[in-house]
Amino acid sequence: MSDSYRTLLLMRHAKSDYPDGVADHDRPLAERGIREAGLAGDWIRANFSPVDAVLCSTATRTRQTLERTGIDAPVQYAERIYDARPGTVIDEINGVSSRFGDDPSTVLLIGHEPAMSAVALGLADGANRTAAESISLKFPTSAIAVLRTSDPWDQLALGGAALVRFHVPR
């Protein structure tokens, strides 16, 4: 593979809890989510180390997911990723190089459904039908869609990436 390829890891936050009286934005991880976020981090480090940059929603459950993955990379928290439409998430991805001051080759984005599945399927070129079908059926908590592109981050658009893999850590 050429060094000019970029890898995007789209991860849905780990399983969250639903405590009474807590606003959606502030919901913490459930015990299962704590465990599965750790498994996701182990898988990411084993297959995509190093992660060069992380974009993360500002929601408590996404922040806790990132913390539990143990991924050590520069992080930018983006309010726009919380409750975002797919176009907003792609816009955040397009700004990666300017946000991080360089051209990271591997970016982890931790967000929410239904945006994560829509972004993964929208960016995918359609070649990996098995992974696309899995994502279409369900993008569970802690799941990770792996996409690769030769396009610069600021030019990544619909159909501009290969959907390489879809992994659900359990």
Tens digit of each residue's pLDDT (9 = 90 or more) over 91-116: 999 999 999 988 999 999 999 999 99
Work out the percent of the chain whose per-residue pLDDT is above 90. 95
Q: Tens of pLDDT along 5-35? A: 999 999 999 999 999 999 999 999 999 999 9
**What is the average pLDDT value for the chain, to the nearest integer?**
96
Quote the distance between the C-alpha of residue 148 and its chain's center: 13
* pLDDT value for 61: 98
Query: Does residue 4 have a pLDDT over 90?
Result: no
Which position has the higher pLDDT, 151 or 4? 151
Taking only the tens place, the pLDDT of each residue in 40-54 is 999 999 999 899 999
Ramachandran bin of 83, using left for φ above 0, alpha for ψ from -120 to 50, beta for the remaining angles: left
- List 57's β-bridge partners, or say none: 78
Helix axes 115-123, 86-94, angle to 10 degrees: 60
| Residue 137 confidence (pLDDT) above 90 | yes
Residue with tokens 């996409």: 147
Share of the chain above pLDDT 70, in %: 98
Asked if the model's pLDDT at residue 141 lies above 80, the reply is yes
Residue 3 clears pLDDT 90, i.e. is over it: no
Q: Enter the pTM of the model.
A: 0.96
| Average pLDDT for 135-150 | 98
pLDDT of residue 69: 98
pLDDT over 80 (residue 170): yes
